[in-house]
Structure 1
Amino acid sequence: MTAIVINLPAIAQFNDEQFYQLCQANSDLKLELSAVGELIVMPPTGGITGKRNSDIIADLVIWNRRTGLGVVFDSSTVFKLPNGANRSPDAAWIPLDKWNALTSEQQEKFLPLCPDFVIELRSPSDSLKTLQNKMQEFIDNGTVLGWLINPQARQVEIYHQSREKEVLEHPINVLGENVLPGFVFNLQLIW
């Protein structure tokens, strides 16, 4: 099952509170909103993708608890990007100072910022091009480092603020570089 994109006319555009309320009223759906106002209904994942996502989140959380450098978010978290899009990566991280700068109301609702680090894990139903565009959107809006993990091709695309996308073929692990110092994700959990 692929994502469903609903094109909304200009008269049906959501403001931040309306989109938040729509998501709350339909909590069994995973919804995103593109920068041009398209409502995106994301399909649920299957067992293998769910397990892979859990392994990614677990390792990221363990690293973060050890270092205390920031806050980790799962795929249910919506980030309101500077371009107006409301996006949910499969995993995300922000430094602790960004989290602490938010008000308690901002922390409770969709986060009005772009994460410093994101991961997208391609499931069998995901369009690679759609995920690549989403990753580029994160980078264009302030993400410093992103990984697009593609189990089907055993590739990891690494996205940076300051350089071209790098594609790793059959890597054993991938590094958090200077964004997540000391974080090493073992891709044997995915392959």
Structure 2
Amino acid sequence: MIALNLQPAVNLTDEVFEQLCRQNPELRLERTAQGELIAMAPAGSESGFRNADLLGQLWQWNRRKNLGLVFDSSAGFALPNGAIRSPDAAWVAKERWQQLTPEQRRRFAPLCPDFVLELKSPTDELATLQAKLQEYLDNGSQLGWLIDPESGKVYVYRTGQPVQVLERPTSLSGDPVLPGFVVDLTLIWE
């Protein structure tokens, strides 16, 4: 990950950032609340496999329950603090999504997902991801999971509660934010 402070030379407005993303589709870009541009390396194959498994489980649950929308890591969200972030997986309640205009839905949706998931890859720094999860909570997420396959730890972020650290859990419950969703983590630890 590389963080670039382009100010005052370049003001990364929403429009400029969106244009930059369109012109560089091979890059995973985010913008911090302070206006820094963050470029992230593509995930390794093992991380991609693990993320696909987690995303697939979330998608299947949502398909059955039809309570909201599931997003992959290519979706960006314009958070209330001005950052534009792309979690590895995210979920937004249907009622909140339906409040957005068609134009807002086509761009970086101006909301923070109700649920976010970040899967630490070997190139990620744990402290950076922990700060990102806290940023999601500070901007309206109700539930966040940070999964670190290398250490075997899962950090669970819930509104109004201290961060819970779990050692190699075989499953996680998303209740009450994701009613009835239980993710199987056995493939993560293999």
TM-score class, shorter-chain normalisation, is: over 0.9
Q: 2:26 aligns with which of 22, 28, 32?
A: 28
- Matched to 1:168, the amino acid is L
Give the alignment of 1:33-182 within 5 angstroms. Answer: 33-182=31-180
- Matched to 2:16, the amino acid is Q
TM superposition shift of 1:10: 2.8
Question: C-alpha separation between the residues in 2 aligned to 1:47 and 1:83?
Answer: 32
Q: TM-score, normalised by structure 1?
A: 0.97
- Residue in 1 aligned with 2:184? 186
TM superposition shift of 1:170: 1.4
Q: TM-score, normalised by structure 2?
A: 0.98
Question: C-alpha separation between the residues in 1 aligned to 2:95 and 2:105?
Answer: 13
Question: C-alpha separation between the residues in 2 aligned to 1:174 and 1:152?
Answer: 18
Question: C-alpha separation between the residues in 1 aligned to 2:71 and 2:8?
Answer: 31
CA displacement, residues 28-68 of structure 1 (integer Å, 9 cap, x when unaligned): 11100000011000100111000001001100000000000
Structure 1 unaligned segments of length 5 or more: list them.
none
- Matched to 1:14, the amino acid is L
Question: C-alpha separation between the residues in 2 aligned to 1:139 and 1:161?
Answer: 6
Structure 2 unaligned segments of length 5 or more: list them.
none
CA displacement, residues 134-163 of structure 1 (integer Å, 9 cap, x when unaligned): 000000000000000000011110001111
RMSD value over aligned CA atoms?
0.7
Task: Give the number of equivalent residue pairs.
Answer: 189
Runs ≥4 residues deviating over 4 A: none
SS in 2 for 1:168: strand
